[in-house]
Structure 1
Amino acid sequence: MPFMPLHQLPNRQTASRTRLWLWAMALLLLAGMVSARAEEPGYRQPPIDLVAAQTPLSISGHLEAMRDPTGQMTLADALSATFLPIPLTLGAGYTSDAVWVRFRLRQPGPDAGHWILDLLPPIIDRIDLYIATTDKPHGPEDFQRQSVGSMVPVPEHRVANSNLLVSFNLPPGAVRDVYARVTSATVVSFRGAIFDDRSLTATVSNHSLFHGLIYGSFALVFIFNVLWFIWLRERLNLYYAGYVLSLLINHMAISNTLASLMPETFAPTSKLWMSISNATSLTCGALFVVTFLRLREKAPWGRATILTLGALCPLTVIPVLFGDYRSGATAGQFIGLALIIADTSFSIKLALRGDILARRFLIAFAPALCGGGVSIMRALGLIPNTWWTEQFYFIASLLHIVLMNISMMTRMRDAENARREAQATALAASHAAEERALRIIDEQTRELVSAKREVEAALAAERQAAKDQIQFIDMIGHEYRTPMSVIRAGIDVMELSAAVPGPSQTTLLDRMRRSADRLVELIEVGLQRDRFDQPSLAVDLRPLDLARLARDVVMELPPDGPDVLVHAPEPVPVHADLLLLRTVVINLLDNAQKYGGVEKPIEITVGIEDSIAIFRITDRGPGIPPSVIPHIFDKYYRAPRARTVVGIGLGLYLAHKIAILHKGKLELESGDPGQCMFRLCLPVFANPVEG
C-alpha cells in the first residue's frame, strides 16, 4: 500500500487503528521499563556473575563512577547520587578529587561463594570499600566497610598482604552492591579482579615470579657494576649502580613490595620513598649520561644542561617532606621530561655525527622512553589503566637496564682494545726511542772521549804554563834581591860614615831603611799574587799582635797623608803570616787614603769580639754604590767612578784572599755615603804573643 498522508485515510478506521497501535507500544515500553528497573534499579552496567570456573573475573566493563570535588561526600550521599558508566577502568590521572566507583556482584547457582577482590594499582593511597550485606540495602547501615591502600598499614588490612585484597562471602542467588571511595596523592585509578582461593594463589605466585625476575635482574646488574667499580675505580660504573639501585627501589615502592618488607613503617613513608628514589634515579642517570657519552669533550653545553637538570631533581623531594607529594611529583615529572628531551636530543645530535656511543645509548634508552611515555599517559588518564599498561613500565625498564649494561660492557671492551693498541704503540715507540737513545749515547760517548782528551791536553798545557810562570817569578825574585841588598848596604854605610848623626839624620835614615824594607815586602807579595789561587801556597804562620802591627804600619805612613786614629787598647794575639797580614793592613789603609780624602781622618779599631780578632777601618769618603758591592773583591775589578784614581784592582782582591788563607774573612760592613767600613776577622791565638 502506497504511503498516504494521515488526513487522507478514512477517519474512524484510521483513528481506531492508530489508537490501538499506540496503546500496544506504550504497554510494551512500560513493561520493559518495569522489568528492567526490577532487574537493575539505577545501574547502567551489568552485574558481575561470580562463577569459579571463569576466575579471575575482571571488573572492567562493570564500573560506574562519580567525582566528589569537595571530598566530603559520605556513603549516604553516594547512594542517592548519579553515576556514569566507565567503558573499561577508572583513570582520572592526578586529581585532588575523591572518586566514587560502584559495581554489582551476583552469585548465581545454588552454592554460596567465598571470593577475594584484588584492587589495583597497589600504590593507591586509600580505598574505602563498602559491600552491601543485603540484596536491597536501604542505607549505610546495610554495608560493611573494608579499607586498603598504600597509606593503610598492612596489619590493618583484612587480608594481610601487600596487595590490596578484600575478601567477602555471598549466599546463593545474592545480588550485592559495592561502593568504593578512591583517594590518592598519586595517580587516581581503579581496576581489579575477583578470585577464588585457588586462582588467587596461582595469580599471586605468577606475579611474585614476574616481579622477582625483574628485581633479581636489577639486583644482579647493581652488584655487577659495584664490583666493576671496586676493581676498576671507574666512576661510570658507580653512577650506573646508583641509577639501577634507585630504579629498583622505585619499582618496589610502586608495586607496594616494600610494604611486605616494612609493614609497619612503609605506609606513612611510601611517598617519600618514591620521591627520593625517583630523584636519585634522575640525578644518577644525568651523571651517567654525561660520562657515558663523554660530553665534556664532545658537547660541553649539553653536559652543562644535563647536569643542571640533574642537580634540580633532589629539590623535588622538599615538597614531599612537607606533605605535598602532588607538587613534588609534578615538578619531578616536568624535570624528568626535560632531562629525557635533553638526553635524547644531544644523543641524536652525536649519533648523526657518527658517534657509536651515542647510537648504542639511543638503542638502550629507547625502551625506557617507551615505558616512561606509557607511564605518563596512564598517569594522565590518556590510556586505560590495565595490567599490561602498568607492567609495561617494569618490562621496558628491565629491557633498558639490560641493554644499557650491554652497551657499557661494549664500551669497556672498546676501551680495553684501545688501551691494548695504545700499549702496543707505546711499546713500539719505546723500542724505537731506546734504539735511538743508544745511538745518541754511543755518539755522545765518542764525543765525550774526544772532548776529554782535548781537555786533558789543555790542562796539561795550562799546568806547564803555570809551572813556567812560577819559575819565571822565582828567577825575577832572585834577580831583584841583589840591587835591594846594595841599597840597604848603602844606607848602613851612610849611617856609619856619619860621625855623630843628629836626631833628624837618624830619623831620616830609619825612614829610608823602613821604606826599603817595605819595598822588599811589596815586591815579594806582588810576585806571589799569582800564586794565591794555588792550593799549595805556603803560609808562614807565627804568633803576632794585630794591634801592634796596625800601629807599626800607621807609623810608617808619610806625614802628608790624612790623619789616622788607632784605637787598640789591648793586645790582640793572632796566628798569621806577618808579611801577608801586613799587606792586608797596608792595602786597606791605602784604599781608605785613596777614596776617603786627605782632609777627613781614618779610624782604625782593633779588638776582640766574641773570641774573634777584629780589625776595623773606617773612612769618610763617598761610600760604595750598592750595584758595585758584589764585585769589590773580584780580581782586577774597579768601580766606574774609581777609574780616575791610580790602581789596577788588586788591593782588595789580595786582602780578601789573604784573609781566607788565614781561615778568616774580609767583608764590607758599611758602604753608605760618608762612611765606608771594612772589617777583617781572624781567629784569636790562645798562646800569648811574644814581645
Structure 2
Amino acid sequence: MLLSIYASIFPKTAIAAPALPPLRIEALVDDAQRLGFDDILLQGQTGFAPLAGQGINLGFGRRAVWLRLRLESPVDQTVLLSLTPNFVDEIDVHIGEDRPGAVAADFRHLAMGDNRPLIADGLSGLANVVPVALRADREALVYIRAAAVNSALGLTVSAHAPSEHALRTTVFALVAGLWFGGMAILVVIQLVFFHYDRKPWFILLAFSTFMAAMVYAGSLGISRLFLFPHGGTGNDLFTAVTAWLGISAGALAASSILDLPAKAPRLHRAFLAIAGIGLVGVGFALAGHNLMFGGFGNLTSIALVTLAVVQALRRLDSDGPGSGLRAAGFGAIWLGILVTCAQRVGVVSLPEWGSYSYGVGVAVHSVLMTASLGVRLRAAETLNRTLHEQALVASQSAEARATALAEERTWELAEAKRVAEAALQAELASQAAQVRFMEIISHQYRTPLATIRTYVDSVGLSLPCQDSANRQRLDRVRGGIRRLVEVLEVNLSRSRLTGPFLRPDLAATPPAAVIEATVARAQDLLQIAIVPVLSPEAEASRIPADAGMLGIALINLLENAAKYARPGAAAPVHLRCDRRGSEVIFTVEDRGIGIPPAEIGGIFGPGARATNAGAIEGTGAGLSLVSRIAAAHGGRVEIDSTLGQGTTVRIILPAGETPAPAAPEPFAPAQTRGR
C-alpha cells in the first residue's frame, strides 16, 4: 500500500527503483535463551524451519527466537529491513554473506530493542530499521535474535527501499498522529460533558480512553523515543502498567455506562472484580513479573468486553436513546481486542496489522460511547426541558388555584373573624353581666346581713352575763354571718378575675401580709385547721404582687385541700412561704385523696378535674385560675401529688428588691376562731 502511494506521488522514482528481493525467512525457537550466535553458526541448517509469512508470535514467556533471512538481488542495492513491533525487549541483528566457514566476526552486529539504547542511525524510530547492502549475484545472510524479558514476544520483518523510507515514516507518523489526536479530542469532549453533567461515566470513559492511548504510546515506541531513549525496562514497565490500568478503567467505565449497580448488581460485582485484577496486574508489573500474569490479562480483557457486549445487547431496547450506539461501541472494541490478542499470543497466524485492530476498536468504541452518552445527555436535556415546561404549566395552574383558594379562605377567615369578634363581645358582655350580678347579689345580701348582725349584737347586750348558753348561740350566728360574707366576697373576686379582668395591680408586697390575710379569710370561709409557716428569708422579702389576686389563688388551693380531704381525716393543711434564690415560693400541702399520676399534666386546664373526684362538687376552674394568676405575676405553678396520700402545690413568683436588714416583727399566725 505504501509503495502504491509513493509511486502515485513520485512516479519516476518509483519506476526507476530496482525490485526488492523476496524474503525467505526461517525460524528457530530458543525456549531456554541459551543459544548464542556462535552456536547458531556451528549447527548450520539444523533446527531452522521455514516461516509461512514474514513474522512469528510466541506470546508471553521468557524465551527467544532466531530468524534467518536469505536475500539475493541481481543488482547492487541497499534494502531496509523494518523490525516490528517496537516494544520487543532485545533484538540482535547479524549481517553477512553466506559462505562456507563463516564465523561471528564476519558479520556486522546491531543491538536493538527497547531494553537497549536507541541507535542514532537516522533510520530507527517508531520501528527498528536495519540497512542491508546487497551485491549482485551474491546471497546476503541475516540472523535476527529476538528475546523477551518482561513482555510478549513477536517479530515481523518487512523490506523496503531507502527511497520509500521517508514516505513510510511520514505516513505512519501521520496515521499515529491522527489517531492520538482523535483520542485526545475524545478525552476533551468527555471532560466537557462531565463539566456540564456530573455523571461518573464521563470521567471514567475519559480515563479509560486516555489509558488506551497510553498503551499504544508504549506499544508503538513513542514512550521509548521520548521517555526511555537510553533503554532499560522503563518502556516495558510503562506499557504493562498502562495496560493493566486500562483494564481497571475500562471495567469501571463499562459498569457505569451500563448502569450495572442499579440494573445488574451481580454483574457489577464481576466488573469490580475485573478492575481489581487490573490493579493486581499493576503490582505484578511493578515487581518485574509481568510475564507471569500477562497472559491472564488478555483473558481478563476478553471476558470484560464480552460481558459488556452481552449486557449492552440485552438492554438494547430498554435503555432508551443511544443504546444502539453503545452496543456497537462495545462490539467494536470486543472485535479489536479479540484480533489483537490472537495476533500477540500467536493463537492463529495473523499479519502484523492485526496488532493494530485494538487501536481501531478503541477509537471506534470511544467515538460511539461518546456519541451514545451525548445522545443520552441530549435526551436528558430534552426531558428536563419538557419537565420544566410541564412544571411551569402546573405551577401556573397551582398558582391560579391557590389564588382562588386564598380568596375563598380570606373571605372565610374574615367571616370567622366577624363571628369570633361577635362571640367575644357576647362573652365579655356575659362576663360583665356576671360580675354585675355578683355585685348586686353581694350588695343585696350585705344589707340584710348587717341588719341581722346589728340585731344579734343588740340581743347580746340584753342578755345577762351569766347566760353563757345563749351567748354561745349568738357567737355561732356571728360566725355564720362572717362566713357568708366571705363566700360573697370570694366569689365576687373570682368573677372579677375572669376574661380581660385578670390584670394584676402590682405593688411591693410582703409575703407575710399575704399569708396572714389568706389564713384569716380561709378560716372564716372553710372552717379548717391551717398551719402557716413563714421562713425568715421570705419574711424579709418583698414581691411585686397584687395582694388580693394572690390571696384568691391561695384561697382556691386551700379550698381544694378542704374539699378533697380524705373521708374521716382531720390532718391540718400546711401553708408555707420560703425564699429560694431570687424566687419566693408559696406552698399548700394537704393529706387528701391525691391526683392520679397520668392526669397531673393536664390538671391546670380549664374545667379539668381528676377522675377520682367522684361526686365532689366543683367546676374545675380553681387550679386553672391559680395557674393564670401565677402567670400574670410572671411566675409558675408546680404540683406534686401521690394518689391516696396528698397533694403539694407551689406558686413560684419572682422576688423584688429586698429591703435593708431590719428587725421585722415575727409573724404571728392567726388563731383559729371558734364558732
* Alignment TM class, shorter chain as reference: 0.7 to 0.9
Equivalent position to 1:125, from 85, 89, 95: 89
* SS state at 1:409 partner: helix
1:580-659 residue pairs with structure 2 within 5 A? Answer: 580-593=549-562, 594-595=564-565, 598-621=569-592, 623-643=594-614, 645=616, 647-659=618-630
Task: Select 1:73's aligned residue among 26, 35, 44.
Answer: 35
Paired with 2:313 and 2:269, the residues of 1 have a C-alpha distance of 17
- Determine the structure 2 residue equivalent to 1:36: none
Query: SS of the residue aligned with 2:648?
Result: strand
Cα deviation per residue 1:523-566 (whole Å; 9 max; x = unaligned)?
A: 12213323323233465666665336545765774999557364
- 2:429, 2:555 → 1: CA distance? 33
Offset, 1:209: 0.9
Q: Which moved more, 1:595-604 or 1:323-332?
A: 595-604
Measured in 2, the distance between the counterparts of 1:248 and 1:459 equals: 85
Residue in structure 1 matched with residue 378 of structure 2 by the alignment:
413
Deviates more, 1:387-396 or 1:373-382: 387-396
Q: Which has the larger radius of gyration?
A: 1
Which deviations, in whole Å up to 9, do the C-alpha atoms of 1:225-260 show, x marking residues without a partner?
Answer: 212222333333212211211111111111111111
Given the two structures, how large is their TM-score scaled by the length of structure 1? 0.81
CA contact (8 A) 2:87 2:236 kept: no
C-alpha distance 126-672 of structure 1, shift in aligned 2 (>3 A)? farther
For residue 314 of structure 2, the aligned residue among 349, 353, 372 is: 349
- Distance in 1, Cα, partners of 2:584 & 2:476: 30
Partner SS, residue 204 of structure 1: helix
Q: Whole-Å Cα distance in 2 between the matches of residues 265 and 518 of structure 1?
A: 122
Name the CA distance, whole Å, in 1 between partners of 2:319 and 2:598: 67
Deviations 1:498-538 (A, max 9, x none): 57689999998778656644432331221332332323346
Counterparts of 1:25-174 in structure 2, within 5 Å, are: 53-54=17-18, 59=23, 62-79=24-41, 80=43, 81-94=46-59, 95-106=61-72, 108-109=74-75, 111=76, 115-132=79-96, 135-154=99-118, 161-167=125-131, 169=133, 174=138
Relative to structure 1, is the Cα distance of residues 152 and 457 closer, same or farther in structure 2, using a 3 angstrom cutoff?
A: same
Judged with a 3 Å threshold, the aligned counterparts in structure 2 of structure 1 residues 320 and 518 are, in CA distance, closer, same or farther, namely same
Write out per-residue CA displacement over residues 355-410 of structure 1, whole angstroms, 9 at most, x where no aligned residue. Answer: 55332222233332332222122123244453432334333433333333333333
One-letter code of the match for 1:397?
A: V
How does 1:436-447 map onto structure 2 within 5 Å? 436-447=401-412
Distance 1:55 1:533 in 2: 126
Aligned residues: percent identity? 27
Aligned residues: 637
Relative distance call for 1:489 and 1:661 in structure 2 (3 A) is farther
Q: 1:71, 1:487 → 2: CA distance?
A: 142
2:327 is aligned, of 342, 346, 362, to 362
Distance 1:217 1:335, change over 3 A: same
- CA deviation map 1:94-150 (0-9, x unaligned): 2433211111234654x5x55543211112111122223784453333333222112
Q: Distance in 2 between matches of 1:69 and 1:538?
A: 111
Question: Deviation at 1:322?
Answer: 1.9
Map 1:483-632 to 2 at 5 A.
Answer: 483-497=448-462, 513=478, 516-537=481-502, 539=504, 545-547=510-512, 550=515, 557=523, 564=531, 566=533, 568=535, 570=539, 573-574=542-543, 576-593=545-562, 594-595=564-565, 598-621=569-592, 623-632=594-603
Q: Distance in 2 between matches of 1:155 and 1:353?
A: 56
Distance 1:465 1:266, change over 3 A: farther
After TM superposition, the structure 1 stretch with the greater mean CA deviation from structure 2, 401-410 or 165-174, is 165-174
Aligned to 2:215: 250
2:381 & 2:519 partners in 1: Cα distance? 89
Taking the aligned partners of 2:468 and 2:651, their CA distance within structure 1 comes to 37
Greater Cα offset, 246-255 or 614-623: 614-623
Distance change (3 Å), C-alpha of 1:98 and 1:612: closer
Report the equivalent of 1:8: none
In 1, Cα distance between the equivalents of 2:113 and 2:622? 108
Range moving further from structure 2, 606-615 or 167-176: 167-176
> How many Å separate the matches in 2 of 1:257 and 1:200?
18
For 1:429 and 1:542, locate their aligned partners in 2 and report how far apart those are by CA, in whole Å.
62
Instruction: Please say if 1:188 is aligned against 2:153.
Output: yes
Alignment-mate amino acid for residue 203 of structure 1 = R
Q: SS of the counterpart of 2:649?
A: strand
* Cα deviation digits, residues 452-505 of structure 1 (max 9, x gap): 443343334333333333332332232222122223323443454457689999
Residue among 356, 360, 365 paired with 1:391? 356
Counterpart of 2:32, as a letter, is T
Q: Which ranges in structure 2 are unaligned for 5 or more consecutive residues?
A: 1-14, 668-675
1:448 alignment partner in structure 2: 413
Contact map agreement 1:668 1:679 (CA 8 A) in 2: yes
CA contact (8 A) 1:562 1:598 kept: no
1:471 partner letter: R
**Cα distance in structure 2, aligned partners of 1:220 and 1:496:** 126
* Counterpart residue number, 1:27: none
Q: Which amino acid aligns with 2:65?
A: V
**Partners of 1:385 and 1:52 in 2: CA distance:** 33
Match of 1:19 in 2: none
One-letter amino acid of the counterpart of residue 366, structure 2: I
Between 117-126 and 651-660, report the one with greater CA deviation. Answer: 651-660
What is the match of residue 679 of structure 1? Answer: 650
Question: What whole-Å deviation, never above 9, does each CA across 1:253-302 have from its counterpart, x for those lacking one?
Answer: 11111111203477423233223322333333333334434445554544
Q: Is the 8 A contact 2:313 2:327 kept in 1?
A: yes
**1:347: how far off?**
1.7
Gap change, CA 1:358 and 1:553, over 3 Å in 2: closer
SS in 2 for 1:595: coil
- Please tell me whether the aligned partners of residues 293 and 358 of structure 1 are also in contact (alpha carbons under 8 angstroms): no
Q: Deviations over 1:57-116 (max 9, x none)?
A: 674xx111112222211222222133111111232332433211111234654x5x5554
Decide whether aligned partners of structure 1 residues 667 and 508 sit closer, same or farther in structure 2, where only a CA change above 3 A counts.
farther
Query: What's 1:47 paired with?
Result: none
Mapped partners of 1:560, 1:533: distance in 2:
26
* AA at the equivalent of 1:99: V
The two structures, once aligned, show a CA RMSD in angstroms of 3.8
2-structure distance, mates of 1:646, 1:403 = 90
Cα deviations by residue, 1:145-165 (Å, 9 ceiling, x for unpaired): 222112223268896634223
TM-score w.r.t. length of structure 2: 0.82
How far 1:591 sits from its partner (Å)?
A: 3.6
| One-letter amino acid matched to 1:96 | R
